[in-house]
Chains A and B, each alone.
Chain A
Amino acid sequence: MPFWIEVIVSLFLLLGAFFALVGSIGLAKLPDFFRRLHGPTKATTLGVGGMILGSMLYFTFLNNELQFQELLITLFLFITAPASAHIVAKAALHLKIQHKAKHTETQDDANAGKKKAKAKAIEKPESNAESAE
């Protein structure tokens, strides 16, 4: 395998590792449940993507034949990741997990009262929000 291929593969792996790390940091560091959701669902798209690109390149040149299997991982991940994030977020909304996000009401709806109650949760102390998770 030529040297420059190895360099490109390592760059992709590093890029992937970097975004996986940022996703994990986001999960650990962000202050409330909904913001934490952004870490794993986001950074893993490019994190896994970078590693998959690196893997595809590496095995293509190692075996001297095109390698596409990894694309399936991306495909399945792109189908399942938003769905699971959506379900988790929806469950959290219905369980009224406290968050600090403001809710903008564009239209009056039956849920309006419920959401105002959630906005009040802002005043609650941080430790409360932590234990709710």
Chain B
Amino acid sequence: MKTRKRLIPHPVLSLLMLLAWLLLNSFSMGHLVLGSLLALAIPYLIQDFWPNAVKVHKPLQLVWYILKVLGDIMIANFIVAKQILGPSSRLNAVFFEIPLEVKNDFTISVLAGTISLTPGTVSADLSKDRKRLIVHGLNVTDIEGEIAKIKQRYEAPLKEIFECCPT
């Protein structure tokens, strides 16, 4: 599948790269120009390796999602800290599988990353057919509830943000 080369294949990525460049260096006109050049040139040069551009359908919801995850990380950190400091024999560690609805590689990575970042759960493996994510929970008693929570709280918004609306 040969597609025509686009000038700016990943606009969001370019913006992020420019921002990262400016944060790494002190802000000045020279760095703005150099950063912009790099942010435009690098995605252009690597687009053959990454043909499917990530489309953010709902940027506002993405911001809301990030804030929500940060809040969850805070709360869950305290819970897990308590579990770690408490007697470890009381922890009910389980493996469970989450049936995935999202199909896009990038969306799956973001979901797996979110699951790993929120304390108490680590994503461990993806089934070969990319339909189930194996997750290790530190202390999960209600597996069905946990799966439902992850699906509703993280997967559903991600699906809306990165994949097209359900037909």
Interface set of A (CB-CB < 8 Å, partner B): 18-19, 22, 25-26, 29-32, 34-35, 37-39, 41-43, 45-46, 49, 68-69, 71-72, 75, 78-79, 81-83, 85-86, 89-90, 92-93, 99-107, 109, 111, 115
Q: A35 to B80, alpha carbons, bound, how many Å?
A: 11
**Which single residue of chain A is at the shortest CB-CB distance from B136?**
A34
Interface residue from B88, B94, B136 paired with A89 (Cβ < 8 Å): B136
Beyond contacts A34-B93, A109-B132, A111-B127: 5 other A-B pairs, Cβ-Cβ < 8 A, are A26-B84, A29-B88, A69-B23, A83-B113, A115-B95
**CA A132 to CA B88, docked complex, whole Å:** 20
Residues of B within 8 A of A79 (CB): 113
Whole-angstrom CA separation of A41 from B117 in the bound complex = 7
Task: Identify B122's interface contact among A29, A31, A89, CB under 8 A.
Answer: A89
In the bound assembly, the distance between CA atoms of A81 and B143 in angstroms comes to 25
Chain A contacts of B46 at CB under 8 A? none
CB pairs A–B below 8 angstroms (19 shown): A18-B81, A29-B84, A32-B93, A42-B119, A43-B81, A45-B73, A45-B117, A46-B74, A49-B73, A69-B23, A85-B123, A86-B116, A89-B125, A90-B125, A93-B125, A103-B96, A104-B96, A104-B143, A109-B132
Contact assessment for A106 and B80 in the assembled complex, using a CB-CB cutoff below 8 Å: no
Contact of A38 among B74, B85, B122 (CB under 8 A): B122
Instruction: Verify if B97 is at the interface (C-beta below 8 Å from A).
Output: yes
| B94 & A30 in contact (Cβ 8 Å cutoff) | no
Beyond A22-B81, A22-B85, whether A100 also contacts B93 by CB under 8 A is: yes
Q: Are B122 and A86 in contact (CB under 8 A)?
A: yes
The distance from the CB of A59 to the nearest CB of chain B, in whole angstroms, is: 13
The CA of A75 and the CA of B120, in the complex, are separated in Å by 21
CB distance from A73 to the nearest CB of B (A): 10
Q: How far is the CA of A22 from the CA of B123 in the complex (A)?
A: 21
Also in contact, A82 and B123, with CB within 8 A (given A42-B77, A46-B77, A102-B94): yes
Tell me if B15 is interfacial: C-beta within 8 Å of chain A.
Answer: no
Q: Cβ of B94 and Cβ of A107 under 8 Å apart?
A: no
* Minimum C-beta distance from B125 to chain A (A): 5
CA distance A86 to B112 in the complex (A): 8
Question: Is B24 engaged at the interface, CB distance under 8 Å to the other chain?
Answer: yes
